[in-house]
Amino acid sequence: MSGLFDDLPAHPPPAAAAAPALVAEPYRVLARKYRPLSFADLIGQEAMVRTLRNGFAAGRIAHGFMLTGVRGVGKTTTARIIARALNCVGPDGQGGPTADPCGVCPNCRAILADRHPDVTEMDAASRTGVDDVREIIEATRYRPLEARKKIFIIDEVHMLSRNAFNAILKTLEEPPPHVCFLFATTEIRKVPVTVLSRCQRFDLRRLTVAELAAHFARICAAEGFVIDTEALSLLSRAADGSVRDGLSLLDQAMALAADGPIDGPLVGGMLGLADRTRLFDLAAAVLRGRAAEALAITDTLHQHGADLGLVLADLLDLVNVLTRLKLLPDLRHAPDLPEAERTRGAELADALSIPALGRAWQMLLKGIGEVEQAPDRRAAAEMVLIRLCYLAEGPTPGEILRRLAELPAEPSRVPAPAPHGPDPGGGARAANGGDAPPAPAGPRSFREVVALAAERREALLHAHLLNSVHLVRFAPPVIEIRPQPAAPRDLAARLAALLQEATGRRWTVALSAAPGAPTLADQGEAAESERRQRAHAHPLVAAVLEAFPGARIQAVHDERADAYGLPPEPPEPAEADPEEDA
């Protein structure tokens, strides 16, 4: 047959056939190259691994698993290991489900290569709708093509819509025996409880700095890199418990180091962190109030490429370390404690008080937020450090209160309110049904009468007695009052009935046109104003207000005051009742 392709050779030329296929293997990042292939390879998840091993050994394997934890701790990796464990048939093809998949059988190899027809992975972050879930539900109706079980791995399952969750609920509760669901999520609280109740839940924990450092050290040795302890510590802290994040940073550090060693300064520069020694210098300068020295150190750090926002975050972490060293001295002998913390950290912790460290923590925590919002991060960070320096040597709130308590009481410089009535009172607390003192059966003062109304839950009557009544004369069983126009017309009758019910005797509540005493609420406001003015006049308080512009006295508490806000006063002798004298 002649045609268009007649001139093409039937076989490749000998030279082309003999030429070797020089295809370079593509580089795999460390996070993929060292991804765990079995439960034995998982680090830091001993509780989960033990539970799964026991379940496989006893044949108690759930049909649904919920794997939760922060990013990069191994949720999807664990799901893939479970998928192989469920479908492994062993090297001879006769094996059953096992906690130690062989890795060489066709099922293991296909799942490892992400090409097994019975293992489906879905990213719920991009496929969130009901239609996507319906495809899975439809697929559960058919038996596996090659494997023992059909596996559905749904990553970031919390991203599914509400309708999608509802659609999968019935299948998840009563799946066919050949189906297993493996869910992974970083936001377990967003997963409906109805879904959680149908799964075995495993919380993968964050890895500690020591666990990450040991893992990174093993990988560096396998890759032929030399790495020092400081670099391992910096990488492990920056990983924040995530193996994948840490391996990505280690990959970057290896590229930066080329064939040289990976040391602390190299990693610190890569991460934009301050040198640990300079960080301790900065902490000592700030916490001891040396502003000029602190700014000089920040200039040096900024010139070397450090982000001052991250420097503040490092200081915050260091304050936490110092606080722990202060409270738990035995930590200084912990084997995993870096040498800088062991020596300079212990020295700083001994020189500082817990209140000073707590204040530094609060200011740094607030300052980091200010830096993130500021247009100039460096200027904002410097202002935070300056504030810390000027507050370092100042007294703590506890010390101020202790000094106030030790000073002798000064005579009042403000005249007290005129004693129009025998019993001061006031305050919105009693008016709002607060904790008024209980009144005895025979009231001895008008304030006890008002307290009786509060005790008997006569809220409206109590409010009027407190705010709208001026006492003219108190002579049990006679009370003369001048109600304000806002008071109800039957106030006197209601008060007399309340007193008669409480005391068992008849009372007379008479209305008068005399001015009378200020209302109890007015007396309370006057007393509060007097306390504030006395506090303002105190030398130590005045010095604090001057040192902190914009500060104000929120409230002045007197331990001698009762629920009405004033120290109790003995009631004036009651006037004799004319009828009783007769």
Least confident of 31-45, 197-211, 527-541: 527-541
Q: Are residues 285 and 294 in contact, defined by beta-carbon separation less than 8 angstroms?
A: yes
Burial class (CB in 10 A: 0-12, 13-18, 19+), 114: exposed
How confident is the model over 486-520, as pLDDT tens digits? 888 888 888 888 888 888 888 888 888 888 888 88
Within this chain, do residues 380 and 520 fall inside the same structural domain, yes or no? no
Q: What angle do the packed helices 459-467 and 520-537 form, to 10 degrees? A: 60
What's residue 407's pLDDT?
62
Within this chain, do residues 479 and 528 fall inside the same structural domain, yes or no? yes
Q: How far apart are CA 215 and CA 247, in angstroms?
A: 9
Within this chain, do residues 443 and 578 fall inside the same structural domain, yes or no? yes
Within this chain, do residues 358 and 297 fall inside the same structural domain, yes or no? yes
Whether residue 99 is contained in a domain is answered as yes
Which carries the bigger pLDDT value, residue 426 or residue 145?
A: 145
Judge whether residue 266 has pLDDT over 60: yes
Judge whether residue 53 has pLDDT over 60: yes
How confident is the model over 449-486, as pLDDT tens digits? 888 888 888 888 888 888 888 988 888 888 898 988 88
Residue listed under structure tokens 């007396």:
523
How confident is the model over 278-298, as pLDDT tens digits? 888 899 899 888 889 999 999
For the four alpha carbons of 184, 189, 195 and 201, in that order, the dihedral sign comes to positive
Average pLDDT taken over every residue of the chain: 81
Residue 392 sits in which domain range?
A: 272-405
DSSP assignment letter at 207? P
Judge whether residue 19 has pLDDT over 70: no
Q: How far apart are CA 429 and CA 454, in angstroms?
A: 11
Long-range contacts of 190-197 (CB under 8 A, 24+ apart): 190/158, 191/66, 191/157, 191/158, 192/162, 192/165, 194/165, 194/169, 195/66, 195/157, 195/165, 195/168, 195/169, 196/66
Within this chain, do residues 86 and 186 fall inside the same structural domain, yes or no? yes
Q: How far apart are CA 522 and CA 421, in angstroms?
A: 12
- The tally of domains found in the chain comes to 3
The 3-state secondary structure of 274-292 reads CCHHHHHHHHHHHHCCCHH
C-alpha closest to that of 183 among 199, 164, 163, 204: 199
What's residue 393's pLDDT?
65
pLDDT band at 264 (very low <50, low <70, confident <90, very high): confident
Interstrand relation of 179-185 and 64-68 (parallel, antiparallel or unpaired): parallel
Q: Are residues 294 and 385 in contact, defined by beta-carbon separation less than 8 angstroms?
A: yes
Whether residue 45 is contained in a domain is answered as yes
For the four alpha carbons of 207, 211, 217 and 223, in that order, the dihedral sign comes to negative
Q: Are residues 459 and 452 in contact, defined by beta-carbon separation less than 8 angstroms?
A: no
Residue 200 bridge partners (DSSP): 65
C-alpha closest to that of 505 among 470, 473, 479, 468: 479
Q: Are residues 67 and 75 in contact, defined by beta-carbon separation less than 8 angstroms?
A: yes
Compute φ and ψ for 58, nearest 5 degrees: -95, -5
Residue listed under structure tokens 């001139």:
7
Whether residue 217 is contained in a domain is answered as no
What's residue 288's pLDDT?
85
Q: Are residues 202 and 188 in contact, defined by beta-carbon separation less than 8 angstroms?
A: no
**How many angstroms separate the most distant Cα atoms in the chain?**
149
Whether residue 518 is contained in a domain is answered as yes
SS3 state at 430: helix
What's residue 401's pLDDT?
67
Within this chain, do residues 379 and 488 fall inside the same structural domain, yes or no? no
Give the number of other CB atoms < 10 A from CB of residue 514: 12
Q: How far is CA 395 from CA 114, 343, 355, 406, in A?
A: 64, 27, 10, 15
Q: How far is CA 105 from CA 53, 80, 89, 109, 417, in A?
A: 20, 15, 6, 6, 95
Within this chain, do residues 392 and 287 fall inside the same structural domain, yes or no? yes
* Residues 300, 302, 306: CA angle, nearest 5 degrees: 115
Judge whether residue 12 has pLDDT over 60: no
What's residue 24's pLDDT?
58
Domain termination residue (choose one: 349, 376, 405) = 405
Q: How far apart are CA 232 and CA 331, in angstroms?
A: 20
C-alpha closest to that of 534 among 411, 418, 397, 425: 411
How confident is the model over 301-331, as pLDDT tens digits? 888 778 888 889 989 989 998 999 988 888 8
Most confident by average pLDDT, 295-309, 332-346, 366-380: 366-380
Q: Are residues 263 and 228 in contact, defined by beta-carbon separation less than 8 angstroms?
A: yes
Whether residue 498 is contained in a domain is answered as yes
Residue listed under structure tokens 């606080």:
323
What's residue 82's pLDDT?
94
Q: How far apart are CA 107 and CA 88, in angstroms?
A: 6
Within this chain, do residues 65 and 194 fall inside the same structural domain, yes or no? yes
Average pLDDT over residues 183-204: 92
What is the CATH number for 111? 3.40.50.300
pLDDT band at 411 (very low <50, low <70, confident <90, very high): very low
Q: How far apart are CA 483 and CA 479, in angstroms?
A: 12
Element of type H or E holding 130: helix 130-139
Within this chain, do residues 471 and 364 fall inside the same structural domain, yes or no? no
Average pLDDT over residues 65-90: 92
How far separated are the first and last CA of the chain, in Å rounded? 148
pLDDT band at 2 (very low <50, low <70, confident <90, very high): very low
C-alpha closest to that of 72 among 155, 193, 192, 181: 155
C-alpha closest to that of 342 among 363, 368, 321: 321
Q: Are residues 559 and 553 in contact, defined by beta-carbon separation less than 8 angstroms?
A: no
Average pLDDT over residues 34-47: 90
Where do runs of H (alpha helix) occur along 435-489? 446-455, 459-467
Q: Which two tokens stand for residue 547?
A: 């040192």
Judge whether residue 440 has pLDDT over 70: no
Prediction pTM value: 0.58
Compute φ and ψ for 174, nearest 5 degrees: -130, 70
What's residue 409's pLDDT?
53
Within this chain, do residues 368 and 474 fall inside the same structural domain, yes or no? no
Within this chain, do residues 381 and 433 fall inside the same structural domain, yes or no? no
Q: How far apart are CA 495 and CA 444, in angstroms?
A: 15
Q: How far apart are CA 147 and CA 179, in angstroms?
A: 11
Single-letter code of the amino acid located at 318: L
What's residue 342's pLDDT?
77
Judge whether residue 443 has pLDDT over 50: yes
Domain termination residue (choose one: 162, 183, 203) = 203
Per cent of the chain over pLDDT 70 is: 82
Domain termination residue (choose one: 155, 184, 203) = 203
For the four alpha carbons of 555, 559, 564 and 569, in that order, the dihedral sign comes to negative
Whether residue 494 is contained in a domain is answered as yes
Within this chain, do residues 376 and 427 fall inside the same structural domain, yes or no? no
SS3 state at 265: helix
Residue listed under structure tokens 């093509």:
145
Whether residue 244 is contained in a domain is answered as no
pLDDT band at 406 (very low <50, low <70, confident <90, very high): low
Compute φ and ψ for 180, nearest 5 degrees: -140, 135
Whether residue 12 is contained in a domain is answered as no
Average pLDDT over residues 549-560: 75
What is the CATH number for 332? 1.20.272.10
425: left (phi over 0), alpha (psi -120 to 50) or beta: beta
For the four alpha carbons of 337, 70, 239 and 219, in that order, the dihedral sign comes to positive
What's residue 107's pLDDT?
92
